[in-house]
Amino acid sequence: MDFFIGVCMEEWDTVSSGKGQTGKVNAVEALTIRTSKRKTVPYDFGKDFYKFPSYLRRAAIAEAVGKVSSYRSNLRNWEAADPQTRGKRPGSPSAGYVYPAMYRDNMFVRTGTCTASIKVFTRNTWDWLEIGLRKGDVDYILHHCKNRRECVPTLQKRGKLWYLDFAFEETVELPDTEAAARRILAVDLGINSACTCCVMGPDGTVAGRKFLKLSAENDRLDRAIGRIKKAQRQGARRMPRLWARARGISDDIAVKTAEFIVRTAVLYDVDVIVMEHLDLRGKKRGSRRQRLHHWKAVYVQKMVTQKAHRAQIRISTVCAWNTSRLAFDGSGRVKRGRESEKTADNYSICEFSTGKVYNCDLNASYNIGARYFIRELTKSLPETSKQQLEAKVPSAVKRSTCTLSTLISLSAALAAAAA
């Protein structure tokens, strides 16, 4: 791939003139691949890579075009930024680790139940290599994936061994229930507590609450982060084993959190799982920035989406502004941490303006579910009806300030209008 990256860097004006991804790939091939009608090319790829499979070559070209296009875009943004605040110049693109897809019949052929052939570079040439598939893996596929479409495998290296990773596709039809008849699971993902869930109806009724703490896993993550901080204070820069351990613990927390959310959704037979739309870009600041750096909220949401769709459950997100900051009973802004004598340094609880102390994550989950129903109940209404409803419930006008009390008032107004 480094060969094609170099060609794209040198001839980007020509390559970028191609129409779409296919046009750019064809433009690179015109510069590098000799044919019967094109005897000479400026960069002869076949001279150094004899008999290189065309499928892998086109995949490498497409990847190189993407890397160079991203580099040129980042460089353009860097040059346009303020020289005093733009930071370090973007680095030149490199191949990195990209594992190829073994295209069926051309790169991969199933020769038996537990055997297959793959085309690889061996003995200084591209040749077919007979491999064996573990019987346990084959039995698992036959038992769990017989109703799914098998995609082409990818060749992956782990340690010193190479593996074939198989992906499967299945079609799931998601139910389309009316908003007034839905039951949702509102989820608030946290840094200290893994997640807090509440089951809610369209009138604001809370049918269930679930908490996931994972105290042991969080303690292990704190110790791993502490070792990293200690090594950094002693002048260490590269700590691959310490970082790998911290990442492994974070992944374990993410997997357990996603499984808990989907299991709770199936238990309560909900129609939609609602979470916050989190934007975690930018530099992390504060005393908890290391923990925030290892917080894999987006990874959890992706896993929940995949698992929920397999269980025929929809996924939705709402604005994350003020979900934890506003009290669900409509009493206004809450006090957390050192803002109140009742909460002190405990950020897991908050104090309402009425003096009541409540779980902060549970309060946020109520507001998350309320915002979803407010959006779904009002978006299909005619504009005139919506304006009349907002006149009766003014707090429903601005979505980022809506709370559970807003949903209860809105539900009562809708019921009165329908009567």
* pLDDT at site 285: 62
Based on DSSP, count helices (H) and strands (E) in the chain, helices before strands: 13, 15
* pLDDT at site 243: 92
* pLDDT at site 292: 73
Which two tokens mark 22? 């296919």
Rounded to whole angstroms, how far apart are CA atoms 159 and 138? 23
* pLDDT at site 79: 92
DSSP 2-67: HHHHHHHHHSHHHHHTSSHHHHHHHHHHHHH---SS----SS-HHHHSTT--HHHHHHHHHHHHHH
**Crossing angle between the packed helical segments 404-418 and 360-379, to the nearest 10 degrees:** 30
**180-211+256-418: CATH topology:** Nucleotidyltransferase; domain 5 (3.30.420)
DSSP 209-265: EEEE--HHHHHHHHHHHHHHHHHHHTT----HHHHHHHHHHHHHHHHHHHHHHHHHH
Residue extents of the structural domains in the chain = 2-80, 108-169, 180-211+256-418
Q: Coil, strand or helix: which one is 352?
A: coil
* pLDDT at site 122: 86
Q: Please give the C-alpha separations between residue 271 and each of 176, 180, 197, 203, 260, in angstroms, as whole numbers.
A: 9, 12, 14, 15, 16
The DSSP element (H or E) to which 122 belongs, if any, is: strand 115-122
pLDDT tens over the chain, length 419 residues: 899 999 999 999 999 998 888 999 999 999 999 988 898 999 999 888 888 888 889 999 999 999 999 999 999 999 998 888 888 899 989 888 888 888 888 899 999 989 999 998 888 888 999 999 999 999 999 998 888 898 999 989 888 898 999 989 988 899 899 999 999 999 999 887 899 999 999 999 999 999 999 999 999 999 999 999 999 999 888 899 999 999 999 999 999 999 999 999 999 999 999 999 987 766 656 556 666 777 889 999 999 999 999 999 999 999 999 999 999 999 999 998 888 888 887 888 999 999 999 999 999 999 999 999 999 999 988 999 899 998 999 989 998 999 999 999 999 999 998 87
* pLDDT at site 332: 93
Listed as own residue / partner, the contacts of 343-350 with beta carbons closer than 8 Å and 24 or more positions apart are 347/192, 348/192, 348/193, 350/324
* pLDDT at site 282: 64
Which of 219, 213, 242, 179 shows the shortest CA–CA distance to 374? 179
* pLDDT at site 115: 94
* pLDDT at site 418: 83
* pLDDT at site 283: 63
Distance of CA 39 to the CA centre of its chain: 47
* pLDDT at site 403: 95
Rounded to whole angstroms, how far apart are CA atoms 109 and 102? 9
* pLDDT at site 261: 97
